[in-house]
Amino acid sequence: MQPTASHFVNGKYLEDTDGTPMPVIFPATGEEIAMVHAATPAVVEAALAAATAAQAEWAAMMGVERGRVLRRAADIMRERNQELSELETLDTGKPIQETLVADATSAADALEYFGGIAASLGGEHMQLGGDWAYTMRVPLGVCVGIGAWNYPTQIAAWKGAPALACGNTMIFKPSEQTPLCALKVAEILVEAGAPAGVYNVIQGAGEVGRALVEDPRTDKVSLTGSAATGKKVYASAAARMKHATMELGGKSPLVIFDDADLESAVSGAINANFYASGQVCSNGTRVFVQKGIKEDFLAQLKERTAKAVIGDPRDEATNFGPMVSEEQLAITCSYIEKGLEERARLVHGGKRIDRPGAYVEPTIFADVTDDMTIAREEIFGPVMSVLDFETEEEVVERANATDLGLSGAVFTADLTRAHRVVHAIDAGSLWINQYNLTPVEVPFGGMKGSGVGRENSRAAIEHYSQLKTVYVGMSPVEAAF
């Protein structure tokens, strides 16, 4: 099941043990499950050469042929969902209950969706009196994908599928925390018929990503990562006039009015904070609850959170697993300390769990105020902040009082208010009476400090292709002299 080498370059696995060793740790036990090596300059060069050499031929293929490869890859991913989900669970520590439905399946959806539209990508015709013009939709060239550790299979496919559909090639660098899953995406694409060099995966920390972005042979970078890394990578791309998509972090508001279906709102808040042990960029970590239902909401939330089945993520009964690493666990625990210091009211959890692995309890703070650190900074762990509010006007203003703008949601039975509030929130993805569903058919991405560009849907095509305009003169040219 495990990949057989560290990198996948030019259609096959590639090893170079001169690279810095990167042990892969199963977060639920702390055991080392694999060892990969960071890309050496020779591996980086091999990936750049392969992706550059393959691009023109891949772009020259009919869209329908490129699409067929992607759709075949989608079918293979679905057939192997069980083993790919097990690998995702080992790589990230997320419960198999989640990975069976949210990772390889989501990657397969992206491959199928972009495979389906590859044949229909094209330009327009404009009649200009006797003359006319047309546009062609052409690829960007070699794209660099850089992933975070929370959804390693999904991120590799969400970037790779639209890139390949448009005729680009890709070099993907996974997070050093979760290096295994993207290799399987590469392997499956080749099995599905992708020519050598079209989709490559190389390992390493930030400096490998940096080298790829700085190389003159690459044309675009799509990063999923923190806002701080996003600023660095975007600046590097801008200095070289490269295209960029930045999928960054959030501190998103989840607004619950007192007429909301309480049970559904509690479910929304649980999904928006504790799925994947809180390691989801679009999470609604500022839960604004209207004062009239605050205590009922907290009581139900506490009772249901106490029922979380915390355990080995390989067990299908487990619905709350470890964090990805000891390092992320320590960051989360330090935010919990801050919450206590700044006098938020601890309603549930708050402690590291006494068992092997990077486990912390699902944690709920109430009476959180806008100025507290836990209400301002992205924690990226299972820590929910519940804030009170009284009026719609007030909550909209407070929801927008952040530099970030990835997502948000409103729970209410009032249809007009629901739309009014989501229209007023400055964020890229909003839900009404729902949270964190991100099907491939709809655009996903952030506003403000949460990023630029969109993934998924036809909108992603704009970020992996460009237009070439051709003006066709049909009469002799007239000149002033």
Binding of residue 175 to ligand NDP (CB under 6 A): yes
Burial class (CB in 10 A: 0-12, 13-18, 19+), 311: middle
Instruction: State which amino acid sits at residue 271.
Output: N
Cβ proximity to ligand NDP: between 205 and 340 the closer is 205
Helix (H, G, I), strand (E, B) or coil at 107: helix
Dihedral in degrees, nearest 10, Cα atoms 312, 315, 318, 321:
30
Cα torsion angle, 380, 225, 286, 254, sign: negative
Chain centroid offset of residue 305 CA:
26
Let me know: does 235 contact 441? Beta carbons within 8 Å: no
> Rounded to the nearest whole angstrom, what is the least distance from the CB of residue 234 to ligand NDP in the complex?
10
Binding of residue 224 to ligand NDP (CB under 6 A): yes
Please work out the total of residues on this chain that contact ligand NDP, with binding judged by CB under 6 A: 29
Residue in 347, 323, 321 with CA at minimum distance from that of residue 334: 323
250/233 Cα distance (integer angstroms): 18
413/431 Cα distance (integer angstroms): 13
Interaction mask 248-287, ligand NDP, x per CB under 6 A: xx-------------------------------x------
Choice among 176, 247, 361, 378 that is catalytic? 247
Q: Which two tokens stand for residue 296?
A: 């009922």
Binding of residue 218 to ligand NDP (CB under 6 A): no
Kindly tell me which residue out of 88, 98, 103, 176 binds ligand NDP, with binding defined by CB under 6 A: 176
Kindly tell me which residue out of 163, 170, 182, 233 binds ligand NDP, with binding defined by CB under 6 A: 233
Binding of residue 288 to ligand NDP (CB under 6 A): no
Helical (H) or strand (E) element with 198 = none
Instruction: State which amino acid sits at residue 84.
Output: L
Q: In 108-168, at which residue ranges do the beta strands (DSSP E only) sit? A: 125-128, 131-139, 142-146
Judged by CB under 6 A, the chain residues 143 through 162 that form the site for ligand NDP are 146-150
Strands 220-224 and 447-448 turn out to be: unpaired
> Rounded to the nearest whole angstrom, what is the least distance from the CB of residue 175 to ligand NDP in the complex?
4
Residue in 180, 177, 172 with CA at minimum distance from that of residue 149: 177
456/437 Cα distance (integer angstroms): 13
Binding of residue 206 to ligand NDP (CB under 6 A): yes
Cβ proximity to ligand NDP: between 223 and 266 the closer is 223
Binding of residue 205 to ligand NDP (CB under 6 A): yes
> Rounded to the nearest whole angstrom, what is the least distance from the CB of residue 230 to ligand NDP in the complex?
7
Kindly tell me which residue out of 103, 109, 219, 247 binds ligand NDP, with binding defined by CB under 6 A: 247
Binding of residue 245 to ligand NDP (CB under 6 A): no
410/419 Cα distance (integer angstroms): 9
Kindly tell me which residue out of 378, 410, 456, 460 binds ligand NDP, with binding defined by CB under 6 A: 378
Q: Is 303 part of the annotated catalytic residue set?
A: no
Binding of residue 335 to ligand NDP (CB under 6 A): no
379/331 Cα distance (integer angstroms): 8
Kindly tell me which residue out of 406, 409, 410, 430 binds ligand NDP, with binding defined by CB under 6 A: 406
Judged by CB under 6 A, the chain residues 71 through 100 that form the site for ligand NDP are none
Binding of residue 44 to ligand NDP (CB under 6 A): no
Kindly tell me which residue out of 19, 209, 253, 357 binds ligand NDP, with binding defined by CB under 6 A: 209
Cβ proximity to ligand NDP: between 189 and 248 the closer is 248
436: left (phi over 0), alpha (psi -120 to 50) or beta: left
366/373 Cα distance (integer angstroms): 14
Cβ proximity to ligand NDP: between 188 and 406 the closer is 406
Helix (H, G, I), strand (E, B) or coil at 224: strand
Kindly tell me which residue out of 11, 225, 253, 382 binds ligand NDP, with binding defined by CB under 6 A: 225
Let me know: does 99 contact 435? Beta carbons within 8 Å: no
Cβ proximity to ligand NDP: between 61 and 452 the closer is 452
Kindly tell me which residue out of 153, 229, 385, 429 binds ligand NDP, with binding defined by CB under 6 A: 229
* Site of interaction with ligand NDP (CB under 6 A): 146-150, 173, 175-176, 205-206, 209-210, 213, 223-226, 229, 232-233, 247-249, 281, 378, 380, 406, 446, 451
Active site positions, annotated: 247
